[in-house]
A and B are shown apart, each in its own frame.
Chain A
């Protein structure tokens, strides 16, 4: 990639070699109309409206790459004619009922029809029956659909569910005379449009996907809408509050669309969540899980007084990571002032993992982020149930495979049909639990630069290699000569006669031969067969940028220290860009700001978690706190970015800052602490109100700031241990895994009305079919740690025979069965 200069409409602009003309124009505020193109996805070429003239030739700006010195004209007479014709075609048979369309006011068909000045119609075709479909959480009205295929594109290229496709429309063909009379591109666009509509790939009439709602977000017209939003409000009535999603560590930028509740109730209410879909894609939790606010009518002075008393009495504060950086800072300041013990289990293990990682890597934080992962072409994921732990990491993996022609390697014990369904070039390795170390050694073996590896590791790895002789069957092509009889006209006599002709043909032939190959014992330990290396080599072809995502399974692994060091070693000795997924919303911020303790004292105050005295934003505590959509503050995301979030809804009760003020800290607002966050961890001295929260036209992210890359001293001991042979294998007991279904993260997502996942013991469909258990049955899950009684839920988003227990529903005390590590064994019996 090198910088080049192109000329668009007389304006010299600088861009990258090979950048699409459309993106180059957009980055420089030059308007080229485009409907079907999505910035981070591959060009669809359905709408053809982005027509421009490049060096005298008509090209589509969305898929024509810029070359140095290119001369581009966006407005010519022919292009204007095409534009007008294309918009007229889109308006053919489109209902003129904008008044009852949810997209009205933000409809691209309305906008472009006006932009192109369409005031009359010249084309017509008989319409077919296009009645609407209720697809579950999405409503599809084919009558409004302009088949730009944006939904199909985003589902395939970004999300990876591949749930949508174009289906035949039926009906009449276009009148033949249009082919002559119409502008060329408009005609071919119409010809294609007239043959298709959008349908589901699963053959039913109900969506069965990970329910992210991105298809409805990108729909330029009102064809795809969120069922919960139908006819609730017009777009122009809603005020957009820029915020940061508070459900997981991805920290996606979202807009809360708010309006008064009703004619008689003036209280603000969130009607929906919108995103800048060109630059950020949301998951179902972010999009539909917005009404988790804690409505408090007034300040409860009595509860506040008892809270102060409890704080004075307490020696421990326990909290979860669903808090802002500022709140974490308040807790840390309280610790410094009064010597509280700070307990946060999941952040503590993450903090320890990062510390161990730093000792070998020499930097406080990992080198990569999800944006880099998007742009790589080989992504490795290890130790994460990617689709539910961090949906955006999965989008990055999928996006890198589809758009960059990349490939992926997914290590996880739980077989995952969603990940397998991402594409042909994803390889999944279902190793046994506890074998994450082996997998890391395999990654070192496969990807590390052998010269950079420490000698002992190199020797250790070489110990697994041996030569073996195998017989391979090869298909070679052999030339054979056949004599064929043919009838041929004799030109002299004019009579047809038989002639013998020699025909040369290539025929495939199977040959067996013996070859000496490298045998990698690590593969065998992980339960992989020989075809793995073959496929991997094929997948590694032409790959030049690598990324690795490390997840939550590792932080509480019995050998997590060694794992953290191995992870650092992978990053150090290879070109792999590393991203470590923080387990919860602000685990990264908490682990950078707070000094966390291991053991609690005698009296504990819990923040969003049950304790002797509980302050909670869930509405079930002794004193109410504001939920994430009612607060302002900053959150530290997986991308090492400190993102600001704003209050979408009012809150009239007490907040943590009030308690802190009462206890002797002085600050009018919580956000007054923003500039003083831990500078030694990379936070910057910036006021909250100066933090931006938007994307620019060229896709650059202007949200908060990036944490400074702080170098730390490498530990004197750089050694990594060999892997332990321990692994969990299924015997009479089942293997259980602690993970939430997609769209659920915490009690906050559980509280929302639109996220209706049922909690229970998740078993895969295939396992249920082959066992005596049935969906809905109540079972007792028991092991040496404890026992719980739950209902069985059939889950088609997992496969294999590992049972999954969720954490989002605190009624099920799943954690009681685990020793920290996310896998364990347990027996399951019917109650």
Chain B
């Protein structure tokens, strides 16, 4: 880490050898002629052509090839379900809506048939979302999280944040493949040891 800690870089500055800029008209004309006929453009083109023929490619060939996404990556949001009941985790507390600094989350809640709070509408305006992760961090139920879907070029970005599509599909729940988000808002390791226990009279 030492190389990063040393922020005093002034000693390593050096001057690049640059010719003085021409000041008069004749000088400028000479520079244009020189640059044009030295064919600098073709030098670059040749390098590209040469490397293409060699087929020795060092970059990822997107979109055939994709880099793996880290578990803490913050792309389009997901809504998780409860492991026990497959019911959606979101309780409609509105904290994500409140904390959202680009003010792009909105939800409607109502009282459902079982007198519980139900989220009837939920939207995120992805055109405004800055993927800061606050919503996932503040969520008390680990319901809203970020997922790995970063390819959100589309005619209507709305389709990504339809509440139903954000929810983990029930098949994934059956297969047990719902992934817990490890980024902002996730439970820190050894949480149990650090919490002060509330006494119980049972």
Contacts and interface: CB of A to CB of B under 8 A. Distances in A.
Contacts of B95: 99
A98 B199 contact: no
B196 to A, nearest CB: 4
30 contacts: A98-B93, A99-B91, A99-B92, A99-B94, A99-B95, A99-B140, A100-B91, A100-B92, A100-B93, A104-B93, A120-B196, A121-B196, A122-B199, A124-B198, A124-B201, A126-B201, A230-B111, A231-B109, A231-B110, A231-B111, A231-B117, A233-B109, A237-B97, A262-B108, A262-B121, A263-B108, A263-B121, A263-B122, A263-B123, A264-B121
Contacts of A119: 196
A479 interface: no
Given A234-B94, A263-B123, A123 B109 contact: no
Contact of B116 (A100, A123, A125, A264): A100
Contacts of B198: 120-121, 124
Interface in B70-113: 91-95, 97-98, 106-111
A99 B143 CA distance: 13
A123 B92 contact: no
Contact of B199 (A97, A123, A237, A260): A123
A50 to B, nearest CB: 27
A236 B98 contact: yes
Given A230-B111, A264-B121, A99 B141 contact: yes
Contacts of A234: 93-94, 97-98
Contacts of A175: 201
A672 interface: no
Most buried by B among A230, A231, A236: A231
A232 interface: yes
A230 B91 CA distance: 14
Interface string B113-155: 0011110011100000000000000001100000000000000
A172 interface: yes
B14 interface: no
Interface string A226-261: 000011111011000000000000000000000010
B62 interface: no
A132 interface: yes
A123 B198 CA distance: 8
B202 interface: yes
B195 to A, nearest CB: 9
B57 interface: no
Nearest to B118: A231
Interface in A88-108: 97-100, 104
Interface in A106-147: 119-126, 132
Nearest to A123: B199
B93 A172 contact: no
B49 interface: no
Interface string A128-171: 00001000000000000000000000000000000000000000
B146 to A, nearest CB: 20
Nearest to B140: A99
B94 A237 contact: yes
Contacts of B109: 231-233
A98 B94 CA distance: 11
B47 interface: no
Nearest to A263: B121
Contacts of A230: 111
A104 B91 CA distance: 13
Nearest to B195: A120
Given A121-B199, A263-B122, 6 more contacts: A99-B93, A100-B93, A126-B202, A231-B92, A263-B108, A263-B121
A232 B112 CA distance: 11
A706 to B, nearest CB: 41
Contacts of B43: none
Interface in A246-303: 260, 262-264
B200 interface: yes
B40 to A, nearest CB: 57
B122 to A, nearest CB: 8
A121 B92 CA distance: 27
A127 B92 CA distance: 27
Contacts of B199: 121-124
Nearest to A172: B201
B193 to A, nearest CB: 15
Residue from B116, B118, B201 whose CB has the most chain A CB atoms within 10 Å: B201
Nearest to A97: B91
A142 B19 CA distance: 84
B191 to A, nearest CB: 15
A97 B117 CA distance: 11
B162 to A, nearest CB: 12
A691 B169 CA distance: 57
Nearest to B122: A263
User: Across chains A and B, which 6 residue pairs bring their CB atoms closest together, nearest first?
Assistant: A99-B93, A120-B196, A124-B201, A263-B121, A124-B199, A231-B117
A231 B123 CA distance: 18
Contacts of B196: 119-121
B130 to A, nearest CB: 20
Contacts of A264: 121
Contacts of B98: 234, 236-237
Nearest to B109: A231
B72 to A, nearest CB: 24
Question: Counting chain A CB atoms within 10 Å of each CB, which of B109, B116, B118 scores highest?
Answer: B109
Nearest to A260: B106
A727 to B, nearest CB: 53
Interface in B151-202: 196, 198-202
B107 to A, nearest CB: 7
Contact of B117 (A100, A123, A126, A237): A100
A687 to B, nearest CB: 34
A577 to B, nearest CB: 47
Nearest to B97: A237
A219 to B, nearest CB: 18
Contacts of A121: 196, 198-199
Nearest to B115: A132
Question: Max chain A CB contacts within 10 Å: which of B92, B108, B110?
Answer: B108
A513 to B, nearest CB: 66
A263 B140 contact: no
A237 B92 CA distance: 13
A100 B93 CA distance: 6
Q: Which of B94, B116, B196 has the most CB of A within 10 A?
A: B94
Nearest to A230: B111
A118 to B, nearest CB: 11
Contacts of B200: 124
Given A98-B93, A232-B109, A125 B117 contact: no
Nearest to B110: A231
A120 B93 CA distance: 23
B127 to A, nearest CB: 15
B112 to A, nearest CB: 8
Q: Most chain-B CB neighbours within 10 Å: which of A99, A104, A175?
A: A99
Contacts of B122: 263
A16 to B, nearest CB: 42
A224 B110 CA distance: 17
Contacts of A98: 93
